[in-house]
Each structure stands twice: as structure tokens, then as C-alpha cells.
């Protein structure tokens, strides 16, 4: 049985091990973390080792929602970092504390309502060190899914790493107005609701509770890493691994192996196709309820 104190303590352990891991990154043997579309600051323009270190630190520390992102939102980062035993040990410890934090949160919130779980997240965010600085940066909502993501690491000597992109399209879920209203209220927390939630609730009040709407959700593309190892199998052939790392890969090595990052921008060739339910039933281009990406059907 987990308590709120257990959850808070496991979060602080996670935070401390994250800081320790970041310190190890700063003294790694070699590193290349490419510029990312998720950050537009000067760090992205710095091609030096220090630039890559700063981008890696941002990637591993990316555990906060930005603006009105929903619970499905996480960001994926390419990159390779080489280091010795201390870096690998720090990655292992961080992953252990991530697992313990996840188990504590899930054990404590089991059976809770959405509003109660939201209160737990607010409590966790306020428990972190540097809270005032985070509020100034508008980083006030902890993204649990991002917290749970493990640091990918490899002990085996690596010959080459090639990144590619797997695309998964978009999905549509039909919802009644009454269901959308409850989702909005859960998003808004305890009344009185934020102004943006009230405005959207007023929009819904114009429609019948049984009117059908549709929520569009993008299935984020997945970065895949194809890894060839130096070690060969019994037949003398190279061994290969295929992983879907959400964060830069840590290697137990003095130098980086050969590598190629995915660089082509992903574009949807059939941008309007996902809006078609049937030939006679389409959705409006702009969402009626923006916070949930819910559209109305065209008459």
C-alpha cells in the first residue's frame, strides 16, 4: 500500500538521480545529440560538444507539459552518448528510480477519479526542488509519461547506429457532447474553471447532449534505432538490435560508433484523408473544442 509520502519520496529520489546522471553527461567521453524541433533556442545552433551536452540535458529533463498539451504528449530525441562505468551506473540508477516512482504513483492513485489524480500531480509538482524557478518558466504540470521513460543504454560494443522514422497516422474517436463536457470539466479541475474551459463549456451548451462529435488524435511518429553490434553470432554474421528509444542512447565506449540520424521532415501525404468517416460524413477543419481537439461533423 503506497501513501502520498511514498510517492513524494520516490519522486525526490528520481529527481536526485536525474541530477546525478546529468552531471555524468557533462563529463562523457563523446556525444552527438542533433538539433531538435522541440527547442528553438540558441543551443540548437551550437554544433560543438557543449551544444550536444546541453541538448542532451534538455532531452532527459523534458518531464513537463508545455502550454495546453494533453496526457498523450511526449517528445522523442535522437542522440548517442559514450562514457565509462560511472555513466552507465548513473543511467541504471536513474532507471531504477523511474520504475520505483511509477510503481508508487500507480499504486497510490489506483481507483482514484481523474480530478483526484490531477490533485496528486499538482502535489508532486510542488514537491520538486526549484519550484519557484519552474513556475517562472511556466513549467507547472509534471508529465508522468515522460518521467517514466527509461534511459536506453548498451553495454555491448556497437558497430553502427542508424535512426529511421516509423509513421502511424491519426485516429478518430466518436464522442457525444455530454462526454466531451465531462472531459473538459476533468481537464479544468475543481470549479471555478479557468476561463478557457468556461468558454468551451459555453460553446457545448449550444448543442444537444446526444449530438455526435469526433476527437482527432495524432499517433506520433516513432523514432527507430537499428543497431549493429561488433560481436558476431556463431555463424560469423553481425548481430543486430532494433529499438525505439525515446531518449538519446548511452553507450559503454570511449568513442562514438558510426551513426546516421533521421533528418527528413515528416509530412502527411494525405492530410485530409483522416477526416473522412464516410463519403457523406466529414469533419469541420477547425476543432470546436480546441483543448481536446474535438471537431463537429459537417451538416
The answer to whether residue 153 is domain-embedded is yes
**Do 120 and 186 have their domain in common?**
no
**Do 86 and 177 have their domain in common?**
no
**Do 39 and 132 have their domain in common?**
yes
The domain total for the chain is: 2
The answer to whether residue 240 is domain-embedded is no
Q: Are 280 and 182 in contact (CB under 8 A)?
A: no
Distance CA(224)–CA(162), nearest Å, equals 8
| Tens digit of each residue's pLDDT, the chain (299 residues) | 888 888 888 988 999 999 999 999 999 999 999 987 655 555 566 778 999 999 999 999 998 876 655 555 678 899 999 999 999 999 999 999 999 999 998 888 887 776 676 667 666 666 555 444 433 433 356 788 899 999 999 999 999 999 998 776 678 889 999 999 999 988 887 788 889 999 999 999 999 999 999 998 877 678 899 999 998 878 888 889 999 999 999 999 999 999 999 986 544 444 333 333 443 458 888 999 999 999 999 87
Q: Are 219 and 158 in contact (CB under 8 A)?
A: no
Distance CA(70)–CA(199), nearest Å, equals 18
Write down the residue that cell numbers 459555453 correspond to: 202
What is this structure's pTM?
0.70
**Do 100 and 192 have their domain in common?**
no
In a 13 Å sphere around the CA of 121, the CA atoms on its Cβ side amount to 21
**Do 59 and 186 have their domain in common?**
no
**Do 42 and 131 have their domain in common?**
yes
The answer to whether residue 79 is domain-embedded is yes
What residue numbers bound the domain in which 44 lies? Answer: 4-157+247-254
**Do 188 and 152 have their domain in common?**
no
The answer to whether residue 281 is domain-embedded is yes
Instruction: Supply 239's cell numbers.
Output: 548481430
**Do 25 and 83 have their domain in common?**
yes
The CATH number linked to 30 is: 3.50.14.10
Distance CA(151)–CA(183), nearest Å, equals 32
**Which distant-in-sequence residues (6+ apart) come within 8 Å of 278 by Cβ?**
none
Amino acid at each position: 500500500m503506497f501513501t502520498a509520502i511514498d510517492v513524494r519520496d520516490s519522486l525526490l529520489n528520481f529527481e536526485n538521480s536525474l541530477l546525478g546522471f546529468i552531471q555524468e553527461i557533462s563529463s562523457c567521453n563523446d556525444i552527438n545529440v542533433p538539433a531538435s524541433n522541440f527547442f528553438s533556442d540558441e543551443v540548437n545552433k551550437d554544433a560543438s560538444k557543449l551544444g550536444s551536452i546541453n541538448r542532451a540535458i534538455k532531452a532527459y529533463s523534458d518531464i513537463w507539459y508545455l502550454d495546453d498539451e494533453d496526457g498523450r504528449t511526449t517528445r522523442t530525441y535522437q542522440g548517442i552518448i559514450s562514457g565509462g562505468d560511472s555513466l552507465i551506473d548513473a543511467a541504471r540508477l536513474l532507471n531504477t528510480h523511474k520504475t520505483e516512482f511509477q510503481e508508487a504513483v500507480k499504486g497510490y492513485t489506483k481507483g482514484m477519479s481523474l480530478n483526484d489524480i490531477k490533485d496528486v500531480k499538482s502535489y508532486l509538482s510542488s514537491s520538486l526542488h526549484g519550484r519557484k524557478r519552474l513556475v517562472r518558466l511556466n513549467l507547472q504540470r509534471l508529465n508522468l509519461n515522460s518521467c517514466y521513460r527509461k534511459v536506453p543504454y548498451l553495454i555491448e560494443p556497437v558497430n553502427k547506429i542508424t535512426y529511421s522514422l516509423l509513421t502511424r497516422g491519426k485516429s478518430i474517436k466518436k464522442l457525444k457532447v455530454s462526454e466531451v463536457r465531462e472531459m473538459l470539466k476533468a481537464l479544468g479541475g475543481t470549479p471555478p474553471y479557468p476561463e478557457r474551459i468556461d468558454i468551451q463549456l459555453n460553446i457545448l451548451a449550444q448543442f444537444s447532449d446526444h449530438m455526435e462529435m469526433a476527437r482527432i488524435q495524432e499517433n506520433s511518429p516513432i523514432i527507430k534505432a537499428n543497431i549493429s553490434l561488433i560481436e558476431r553470432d556463431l555463424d560469423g554474421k553481425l548481430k543486430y538490435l532494433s529499438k525505439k528509444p525515446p531518449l538519446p542512447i548511452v553507450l559503454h565506449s570511449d568513442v562514438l560508433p558510426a551513426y546516421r540520424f533521421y533528418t527528413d521532415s515528416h509530412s502527411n501525404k494525405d492530410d485530409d484523408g483522416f477526416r473522412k468517416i464516410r463519403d457523406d460524413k466529414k469533419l469541420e477543419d477547425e476543432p470546436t473544442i480546441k483543448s481536446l481537439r474535438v471537431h463537429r461533423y459537417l451538416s
